[in-house]
């Protein structure tokens, strides 16, 4: 079997997608609860950050799922890493769907 860099790249993309989703929530809530921003300033900033987070994490999750699937279908080296990449990408998509349903505002309740 040939060693393809696609599996580790897909895994890294999936891991970054999850870190972007979780980091967004942690940063916004820590800014609010730390007193750096008021509710009014965060309500103006949160939708912009929410859209940017959706775009970046969505692209990374799609890359992880697509790359991991290619490795699994073509039976290239490192199928476990590719499976983990698909799982991380799917977890990031699930987190994005929950964020889409809730929006950025439940962080501040």
Q: For residue range 25-60, what is the model confidence (pLDDT) as tens digits?
A: 888 778 777 777 776 776 777 778 888 889 999 999
Residue of 89 and 3 predicted with greater confidence: 89
pLDDT recorded at residue 88: 96
Answer yes or no: is pLDDT of 70 > 90.
Answer: yes
Answer yes or no: is pLDDT of 109 > 70.
Answer: no
Phi and psi, residue 78, nearest 5°: 65, 55
pLDDT tens digits for 10-25?
999 999 999 998 888 8
The DSSP code for 36 is S
For the chain, give the number of residues. 109
- What's the CA gap between 51 and 103, in Å, rounded? 10
**First-residue to last-residue Cα distance in the chain:** 53
66 to 6, 30, 32, 95, 97: CA distances (angstroms): 10, 33, 36, 18, 18
CA trace torsion 68, 15, 60, 9 (10° rounding)? -50
pLDDT recorded at residue 93: 94
């Amino acid at each position: 079997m040939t060693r393809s860099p696609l599996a580790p790249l897909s895994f890294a993309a999936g891991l970054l997608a999850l870190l972007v989703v979780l980091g967004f929530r942690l940063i916004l809530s820590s800014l609010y609860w730390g007193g750096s921003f008021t509710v009014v300033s965060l309500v103006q900033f949160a939708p912009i950050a929410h859209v940017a987070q959706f775009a970046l994490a969505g692209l990374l999750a799609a890359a992880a799922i697509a790359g991991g699937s290619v490795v699994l279908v073509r039976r290239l080296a490192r199928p476990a890493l590719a499976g983990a990449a698909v799982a991380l990408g799917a977890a990031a998509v699930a987190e994005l769907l929950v964020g889409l349903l809730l929006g950025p505002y439940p962080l501040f309740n």
